[in-house]
Amino acid sequence: MSDSETKVTWKGGLIALLIGLVFLAGVSEIVVRIVYPTWSEFFAGRFLTVENVPGHGDVAVGRKGFDGYFSQNNGDFRAHIAINEFGLRDAEPVETADGRVWIIGDSMAFGWGVEGDQMYSSVIGRLRDEPTYNIASPGTNVCGYQALAARMPNNLTPKAVVVGLILENDLAEYDCQAYAAQPQRTTGDKDFNLQQLKVTLMQHTALYNFFAVAMKRVDVIREILIKLGVVNKSQAYRNLLAGRDIQRITESTAGELARLRNMFSSDTPFVVLIAPARFEIADDDKDFKVIRLAMNEALSKQNLAYVDPIDAFKAAGFTGTHFVHDGHWSANGHRIAAEALTRWLDANVP
């Protein structure tokens, strides 16, 4: 056989192999979709979108009318998510929010991973024997909280306002007016990276989700993936404010919370729920204790009431208030927060 014939044969074999692999992947994808119909539940983008609020910029909100399930691929939770026609995770129409206690926040207040009746907004409603209204949305921050409040219909007035502030990722040197003035952002503006690839595969392929679930639930394989940097270590320590000016950051955050407070009538009771950091709850982390106390002081300087349930969370313990792998509160964490807030509401809201 001549060199040219050998070369042609080698190329033909390679092409045949590639075609076979593509065919096998296609068949496997079809089979997995049939035997594993819940494969799409791991992608939060199924129930979230982005909306531009005039004067406040882009903010994440729910996809109107979504009704389905959201799961953690390591098995922490599988929760039912229902989004109403106003893009909020509240069972009732937005018109019913008038005269109720409003809960504003991000994924924690939204009830990431818990059922609708386990969210601290729902628990408060049962404890006070009056319904609340949840206008929280994942992926937001203090500027986003202003946007969520601004998009509520003008003819609706809250009885009181509760704002959930997450110490681990809500504190920053804010300029919400400058943020609102920026050009509208789109998800397609991000540079391509490994995280974006993972999200794309999670969104579109059952095969990826099947293997992701299988590998994350096998200890040896999961540890290898962590060492390779493919997946993150569960509950890994992270302090976004390390080495930064804590006083400046907390005062900036409190200033924008005061701006949020001023969006409501001066006689509307307003309180900030301080969500303590996982690492202070679990390990008495000194850095996050400094951050928490500085945030409390900054709120006091702005004459903003706050509820700091750190003692109750520490008494219950980290594993008693959080999911095993995910950094959000379990149903018990929501209950503890709700009880602390209810005591404040009972004392300040008739």
C-alpha 210: how far from its chain's center? Answer: 23
* 172: region left, alpha or beta (phi > 0 left; psi from -120 to 50 alpha): beta
Which phi and psi angles does 115 have, rounded to 5°? -75, 160
Which has the closest alpha carbon to 318: 288, 341, 273, 298?
Answer: 288
Angle at 212 (CA atoms; ends 207, 216), nearest 5 degrees: 155
Confidence of residue 155 (pLDDT cuts 50, 70, 90): very high
What share of the chain in percent tops pLDDT 70? 75
CB distance 159 to 133 below 8 Å: no
Q: Is the pLDDT of residue 30 over 70?
A: no
Q: Is the pLDDT of residue 26 over 90?
A: no
- In 3-state terms, what secondary structure has residue 115? coil
Please state, as a whole number, how many other Cβ atoms lie within 10 Å of the Cβ of residue 308: 19
Q: Is the pLDDT of residue 230 over 60?
A: no
E strand residue ranges, the chain = 48-53, 57-62, 67-71, 78-82, 101-104, 132-134, 160-166, 270-275, 305-307
Tokens of 183: 């050009």
Q: How far apart are CA 224 and CA 227, in angstroms?
A: 5
Which runs of consecutive H residues, i.e. helices, occur in 173-245? 176-181, 194-204, 206-216, 219-228
Per-residue confidence (pLDDT) for residue 264, from 0 to 100: 98
CB distance 116 to 80 below 8 Å: yes
Longest dimension (CA), the chain: 94
Bigger pLDDT: 307 or 229?
307
188-199 residues labelled b (16+ CB within 10 A) or e (exposed)? eeeeeeeeeeeb
Per-residue confidence (pLDDT) for residue 269, from 0 to 100: 98
Q: What is the pLDDT of residues 157-173, one digit of tens each?
A: 999 999 999 999 999 99
Confidence of residue 41 (pLDDT cuts 50, 70, 90): confident
pTM of the predicted model as reported, rounded to 2 decimal places:
0.84
Q: What is the pLDDT of residues 171-188, one digit of tens each?
A: 999 999 999 888 765 444
Per-residue confidence (pLDDT) for residue 346, from 0 to 100: 98
Q: How far apart are CA 166 and CA 274, in angstroms?
A: 6
Burial of 186 from C-beta contacts in 10 A (0-12 / 13-18 / 19+): exposed
Q: What is the pLDDT of residues 144-154, one digit of tens each?
A: 999 999 999 99
